A and B are shown apart, each in its own frame.
Chain A
Amino acid sequence: MGSAGYEQLVADLDETAVLEAWERNLAGSVRAQVAPDQLRAELSALYRAFVAGVRSGDGTRSNSFDEVRALLSELSTSRARRGFSPTETASSVFALKDALFEVMGVTGSSDQLELSRAIDDLGLFTFERFAAAREAVILNQSEQLLELSTPVVKLWDGILAVPLVGTLDSARTLVVMETLLQMLVDTGSAHAIIDITGVAAVDTQVAQHLLKTVHAARLMGAECIISGIRPQIAQTVVALGIEFGDIATRATLADALRHVLNQAGYDVVLRPDRAS
């Protein structure tokens, strides 16, 4: 595209007129949600970079368009974070085409086609950046989910519970182990219940991770019990030949709590006269 003839087309245009038309052509939702001053600043910076790129006479993937691409990246990233749709984001760029043709008048010349193609290319680039930014947001959220999904709750004086949800891998187990052990120290609890009701599957590796956690707690002087073992999982555990040894296991959290209360010296009594 070194011989692009469209640079002459753009060079003669009135910048203010193009910017006004561009802004008018933007999707209504973008105009409604972005402050007018900010929008104008974005558009004029982008337009100047675009004109500079076009003047160089090189293709849109060349170094001359570096600044345009940087501005577009920034724009798509911020749009992605603010929850704009892909169409709204990409049409910000395509609106420039309409604006340019509106100001220069459509002649259908090959130079105009060239210009149109250049803007299409930038639109695609915007789209790419938009997708990348969304992926980054998703990745970030799944990391936050990892931290959020390992709460340690206090069930009773000296009794903690860790409800595990999802899959257990080494990274996750380490987070669970560290949080649990630290909480044991902080609260001076001698008992902990690890509830695996929400764990999708238990294989030898997951069992290994659980055993490690229990042994580490034991070294610190606290006793762990594993609850929430569904029948399916009990069968898997036996089929795989996993030995829990002298670690207490229970089917439900309620059973586990009763066992631990008992061990801690509490008596849970039903009073028939108060039972409803």
Chain B
Amino acid sequence: MERIPIYQIGNVLLVSIQIDLQDSDVIALQDSLSERIASSSAQGVVIDISALEIVDSFVGRMLSTIAGVSRVLNARTVVVGMRPAVAITLVELGLSLPGVETALNVERGMAMVTGSTAAATASDTAADANDDVL
């Protein structure tokens, strides 16, 4: 069984999945990540799946579950780097990863959950507010 490393950078946990996951790996990752979020009181989790060529419904559900778990533990989860082919397949299968936030790459994902979180949300809200005016 492969162990997926979890790095802590400041208040953020970074998980980079580099191998195609077996179901047992998925469960192990879900367990260890939940534990780390709780013990480190992290405010954000960034999961990099740019190396994954296949995301099946099981992995999809794991991503949704981790997002749910971290929300309960007061952390934000961002899935980054999904490949175009993977995104198209998920949409064709009708899997939309509910409750999961996404970003194009690790850099943007980190920006979303760290210091610039405030800035990002602020500009989003501002944009939304402006929307009504437009």
Contacts and interface: CB of A to CB of B under 8 A. Distances in A.
B46 to A, nearest CB: 11
A102 interface: no
A263 B123 contact: yes
B96 A215 contact: yes
A190 B91 contact: no
A219 B91 contact: yes
B124 A263 contact: yes
A188 B88 contact: no
Contacts of B123: 263, 265
B131 A219 contact: no
Given A262-B127, A263-B124, A190 B104 contact: yes
Contacts of A218: 96, 102
A259 interface: yes
Contacts of A262: 126-127, 130-131, 134
Given A259-B134, A262-B130, A219 B104 contact: no
Contacts of B61: none
A111 B30 CA distance: 92
Q: Is the interface of A mostly helix, strand, loop or mixed?
A: helix
A248 B88 CA distance: 20
B84 A259 contact: no
Contacts, number: 74
Contact of B102 (A212, A219, A255, A259): A219
A220 interface: yes
Interface residues of B, number: 28
Contacts of A117: none
A179 B105 CA distance: 18
Given A258-B134, A259-B134, A263-B123, A219 B103 contact: no
B19 interface: no
Interface string A168-179: 000000100110
B84 A178 contact: yes
Given A215-B96, A259-B134, 18 more contacts: A177-B84, A177-B88, A178-B84, A181-B88, A185-B84, A188-B105, A190-B103, A216-B87, A216-B88, A217-B87, A219-B91, A220-B82, A222-B104, A259-B127, A262-B126, A262-B131, A262-B134, A265-B123
Interface of A: 174, 177-178, 181-182, 184-185, 188-190, 212, 215-222, 248, 255, 258-259, 262-263, 265
Interface of B: 78-80, 82-84, 86-88, 90-92, 96-97, 101-105, 108-109, 123-124, 126-127, 130-131, 134
